[in-house]
Amino acid sequence: MKTKYIVKRIRRMENLMNEVIYAFGNSENFRDNKKMTENVKILADYMESGVWLSDFEKCERGELPKKLRCGVLSEDTLYNLLCDIDKKRRNSK
């Protein structure tokens, strides 16, 4: 796959993750927010599909632009966010 498509995907996932982090920390009604629910599903699918791992490995090998913001590829940030959201959802039922 061409690097420009990978970069576009990573930027999209980075933006989604940042939106979810902000909303999760600043919204009493996070659970009822359909857009955030969709964003969380997209991020979870990204992480679980193997695409995240492929992007992570490319980043580790230095195959992505150095200025690319890719916090979504850190080994813990996305996973911990998804776990925190799942925990909050289970506790609020």
Q: What predicted TM-score, i.e. pTM, was given to this entire model? A: 0.89
pLDDT of residue 3 exceeding 70: yes
Q: Under a CB-based contact definition with an 8 Å cutoff, are residues 52 and 46 in contact?
A: yes
pLDDT tens digits, one per residue of 44-82 = 999 999 999 999 999 999 999 999 999 999 989 999 999
Q: Which domain holds residue 30?
A: 3-91
Q: How many other CB atoms sit within 10 Å of the CB of residue 20?
A: 23
Q: Under a CB-based contact definition with an 8 Å cutoff, are residues 64 and 70 in contact?
A: yes
The total of structural domains in the chain comes to: 1
pLDDT tens digits, one per residue of 20-29 = 999 988 877 6
